[in-house]
Chains A and B, each alone.
Chain A
């Protein structure tokens, strides 16, 4: 038995702690704030709670379509109530992580850690300092919102994503800089709560990483919900006094006023103030350098999660945390990234796994595409959410399913089936006699797969 110190109690850190503890190590976890990291406290969980409120509000307003009459003046958003609900979910989950630490006998220290040497940490606490010695270390300090050099966060008008989920009131207008996942999710939340939302994206489409047809479907729905989208547009300056932004579009300058500006241009790894340069751990602005076993350039120091850059998703951090801990405990395990689901909680939801069509064409040439629209799916019509489709990408030689995207109702739940298909290295013929229950949204997945081989019945 040895000692392992873990810096950071987010998804990568707490999973690493549990894994190492179960492998018989004596584990100490250092966290400067609440356990659970960005995911539980200012990311995945609170945004999805807000989204659920926005969704419920939209659904109630839509009640007439289902034959339910609701007096329109009776439907209002109780913002403090929304915040309360969100906080309740968060604190339950934080308690859950706290319980897991106790159950696995992980010692949790509150404070900020800095490396003194490669096996000594200094932990600054509100009421003093302490030193910690460990045989092996795992760095899981996560990431924080990146800011614009010419318009730093001021916490009042220019805000980051964590502030955007705890605003004192619903803003009348919101300018979102960055049309990536975070920007689009906030657009979906606030536009449905009545805010006039504008998205500004430098690339030629929103969601620059995803296929154009998928991004266009979302852009159409956001526009229909009253969101203004500027693509191929740069923010040239912000005027704090006038609360105005000047945009450089393809067709000239545009000036916009907004009550609040959310900068969502990405997240940067927290690599500073750790004293990494002192101990020889290689890193750059893109993150700490690691190999497939999550080992840094100092052999007994590992790093995982957002702090190593790469795919900044909680479930990737879970996986990396486990890999880092196993290797730190003397086992050998390599991180595997080939079936990582990517979820975007917008309205409609978007979820993908594997290659996009563009990537698949570059890698496999003439791929087969199978699509199935939710407008032909019984359950989607019952939900009154017929917008969207399933798109499956099949490699031409062995008919392996190499990518799958879903835009539409419950896409983020449906993608689980696709992640299994990719994880199992499924081929379309292996699914030939597969069955989906009727009526379900899941039918659309199998239909799209069968469509790729020309066997869809309803499409």
Chain B
């Protein structure tokens, strides 16, 4: 793995730094401790030293460009590392920064300091873009040497040459992103059913990929002891039957528990919105709860509006009505928009924990697994308890681990003290 040259943080208030001058050129040998690049913040100038011996493999930030601190400016390593290290590492700092919780309390906003993902805003010339697409090169793996880091035809040609040099294939054979079949004579897939990605599948594909690319999501898990809740559910069932009302399902209770915890931890009832280079976090007063429902063609997420105004019983009715409408495909587009938090339940399939993907631009999604009866020590005594696995995915750009954990603890607490769900 090649060593990174990183834009250091010079002082508390520094948001970004400018590359003044590269002392070394790509290909030049560098000894550990030697000055590689000169940088400056608004206040001071500084020399950045190499953290390892090797060659300067790539310069990712050109002279005169300003970038947030922590951004990788270049890579130092050995010749062989060139191809593997450089492209992989380019995408990495964003991930690392997002996933590492801030260590110091003065750390202001990890969100703004993470280098912007290149995604759809890559500066690239039209012909370079077509060449890269045809060759199946990810734009994120390319280093632009044009004005303001624009990727030029020459940059793509160089990347292709490098790839060819590694793979031992001639550079001209840009066969595009190979389909699995055809690329490899040893690959015998049997009968292949190929269907074009269209309609709902296409929308889901795009949204999910977008979600993973454009937010800093991570998942934490917890078990809720629902032994009492299940007992209570049975008692209620007979009472409800007398009143000719439908049964309350576990999902109903969970939905109510989530609403209660969201009211307490408003940070989770929010969205991270970007508008060009500007970003803002909106925190919402009302809870519009999305419930993921699996259909044959794919997933839909109908929304229960103003869920915080509904009692447990009303919530249950609303949920039933929506799920039925979803299964009979009667949902309108309006009914699937505007949620502020989502619940996804895979318990019926025996799934335990999983990593739900955020429904953008929401901040949180709760994954619910299957209840399992396990022996648990309560004091010194082993008891049969029913445990419910919960998986909370949240956007680290909006909030940090501790507040997210508090929200999850809130859900757990309500489920473990079921009477609170009535309040």
Name A residues whose Cβ lies closer than 8 Å to a Cβ of B: 330-332, 398-400, 424-427, 429-430
Pick the contact of A427: B22, B25, B127, B134 (CB < 8 A).
B127
Contacts of B127 in A (CB 8 A): 398, 400, 425-427
Asked if A430 and B63 make an inter-chain contact with CB atoms under 8 angstroms apart, the answer reads no
Asked if B21 and A425 make an inter-chain contact with CB atoms under 8 angstroms apart, the answer reads no
Contacts of B152 in A (CB 8 A): 425
Contacts of B128 in A (CB 8 A): 425
Please count the residue pairs between chain A and chain B whose beta carbons lie under 8 angstroms apart in the complex: 30
Cα-based distance from A331 to B127 in the complex (angstroms): 29
Contacts of A424 in B (CB 8 A): 125-126
Taking CB atoms and an 8 Å cut-off, the chain B residues in 111-143 that contact chain A are 125-128, 130-131, 134
Contacts of B130 in A (CB 8 A): 398-399, 427
Cα-based distance from A398 to B135 in the complex (angstroms): 12
Asked if B153 and A331 make an inter-chain contact with CB atoms under 8 angstroms apart, the answer reads no
| Min CB gap B142→A, angstroms | 14
5 A-B pairs with the lowest CB-CB distances in the bound complex, closest first: A425-B125, A430-B126, A400-B127, A425-B127, A427-B126
Pick the contact of A332: B22, B134, B153 (CB < 8 A).
B22
| Min CB gap B137→A, angstroms | 14
Contacts of B153 in A (CB 8 A): 400, 425
Question: Please, which residue of chain B has its CB at the minimum distance from the CB of A401?
Answer: B127
| Min CB gap B171→A, angstroms | 14
Question: Please, which residue of chain A has its CB at the minimum distance from the CB of B59?
Answer: A332
Instruction: Check A426/B63 contact, CB under 8 A, given A330-B21, A331-B21, A398-B131.
Output: no
Question: Please, which residue of chain A has its CB at the minimum distance from the CB of B145?
Answer: A334
Asked if A426 and B21 make an inter-chain contact with CB atoms under 8 angstroms apart, the answer reads no
| Min CB gap A224→B, angstroms | 40
Question: Please, which residue of chain B has its CB at the minimum distance from the CB of A421?
Answer: B126
Asked if A332 and B25 make an inter-chain contact with CB atoms under 8 angstroms apart, the answer reads yes
Cα-based distance from A331 to B21 in the complex (angstroms): 7
Cα-based distance from A36 to B167 in the complex (angstroms): 53
Asked if A425 and B126 make an inter-chain contact with CB atoms under 8 angstroms apart, the answer reads yes
* Total B residues in contact with A, Cβ cutoff 8 Å: 13
Q: List 26 A-B contacts (CB under 8 A).
A: A330-B21, A332-B22, A332-B25, A332-B63, A398-B127, A398-B130, A398-B131, A398-B134, A399-B130, A400-B126, A400-B153, A424-B125, A425-B125, A425-B126, A425-B127, A425-B128, A425-B152, A425-B153, A426-B125, A426-B126, A426-B127, A427-B126, A427-B127, A427-B130, A429-B126, A430-B126
Cα-based distance from A424 to B129 in the complex (angstroms): 12
Contacts of A430 in B (CB 8 A): 126
Output the residue of A330, A332, A425, A427 with the most chain B CB within 10 A.
Answer: A425
Question: Please, which residue of chain B has its CB at the minimum distance from the CB of A427?
Answer: B126
Cα-based distance from A425 to B131 in the complex (angstroms): 12
Taking CB atoms and an 8 Å cut-off, the chain B residues in 1-35 that contact chain A are 21-22, 25
| Min CB gap B128→A, angstroms | 6
Output the residue of B63, B127, B130 with the most chain A CB within 10 A.
Answer: B127
Cα-based distance from A441 to B151 in the complex (angstroms): 32
Contacts of B134 in A (CB 8 A): 398
B402-413: CB near A (< 8 Å → 1, else 0) gives 000000000000
| Min CB gap A422→B, angstroms | 10
Cα-based distance from A331 to B22 in the complex (angstroms): 8
Question: Please, which residue of chain A has its CB at the minimum distance from the CB of B146?
Answer: A425
| Min CB gap B381→A, angstroms | 74
Cα-based distance from A330 to B25 in the complex (angstroms): 12
Taking CB atoms and an 8 Å cut-off, the chain B residues in 27-83 that contact chain A are 63
Contacts of B22 in A (CB 8 A): 332
| Min CB gap A394→B, angstroms | 11
| Min CB gap A413→B, angstroms | 24
Output the residue of B21, B125, B126, B128 with the most chain A CB within 10 A.
Answer: B126
| Min CB gap B400→A, angstroms | 42
Cα-based distance from A426 to B131 in the complex (angstroms): 12
Known: A398-B131, A424-B126, A425-B126. 20 other contacts (CB 8 A): A330-B21, A331-B21, A331-B63, A332-B25, A332-B63, A398-B127, A398-B130, A399-B130, A400-B126, A400-B127, A400-B153, A424-B125, A425-B152, A425-B153, A426-B126, A426-B127, A427-B126, A427-B127, A429-B126, A430-B126
Contacts of A398 in B (CB 8 A): 127, 130-131, 134
Cα-based distance from A330 to B134 in the complex (angstroms): 38
| Min CB gap B27→A, angstroms | 12
Output the residue of B63, B130, B131, B153 with the most chain A CB within 10 A.
Answer: B130
Contacts of A429 in B (CB 8 A): 126
Contacts of B126 in A (CB 8 A): 400, 424-427, 429-430
Cα-based distance from A425 to B154 in the complex (angstroms): 10
Question: Please, which residue of chain A has its CB at the minimum distance from the CB of B134?
Answer: A398
| Min CB gap A123→B, angstroms | 32
Cα-based distance from A424 to B126 in the complex (angstroms): 8
Contacts of A400 in B (CB 8 A): 126-127, 153
Cα-based distance from A159 to B80 in the complex (angstroms): 62
Question: Please, which residue of chain B has its CB at the minimum distance from the CB of A330?
Answer: B21
Contacts of B21 in A (CB 8 A): 330-331
| Min CB gap A203→B, angstroms | 32
Output the residue of B125, B128, B153 with the most chain A CB within 10 A.
Answer: B125
| Min CB gap B397→A, angstroms | 34
Question: Please, which residue of chain B has its CB at the minimum distance from the CB of A395?
Answer: B127
| Min CB gap A428→B, angstroms | 9
Cα-based distance from A425 to B151 in the complex (angstroms): 10
Cα-based distance from A447 to B60 in the complex (angstroms): 39
Question: Please, which residue of chain A has its CB at the minimum distance from the CB of B124?
Answer: A425
Cα-based distance from A330 to B130 in the complex (angstroms): 35
Contacts of A425 in B (CB 8 A): 125-128, 152-153
Cα-based distance from A426 to B152 in the complex (angstroms): 11
Cα-based distance from A425 to B145 in the complex (angstroms): 14
Contacts of B125 in A (CB 8 A): 424-426
Cα-based distance from A399 to B153 in the complex (angstroms): 13
Cα-based distance from A330 to B24 in the complex (angstroms): 11
Cα-based distance from A332 to B25 in the complex (angstroms): 9
Question: Please, which residue of chain A has its CB at the minimum distance from the CB of B26?
Answer: A332
| Min CB gap A327→B, angstroms | 12
| Min CB gap A305→B, angstroms | 23
Cα-based distance from A177 to B240 in the complex (angstroms): 109
Cα-based distance from A426 to B127 in the complex (angstroms): 6
Cα-based distance from A425 to B152 in the complex (angstroms): 8
Cα-based distance from A330 to B63 in the complex (angstroms): 12
Cα-based distance from A399 to B126 in the complex (angstroms): 10
Contacts of A332 in B (CB 8 A): 22, 25, 63
| Min CB gap B150→A, angstroms | 9
| Min CB gap B154→A, angstroms | 9
| Min CB gap B74→A, angstroms | 13
Cα-based distance from A330 to B127 in the complex (angstroms): 32
Cα-based distance from A331 to B128 in the complex (angstroms): 26
Cα-based distance from A427 to B130 in the complex (angstroms): 9
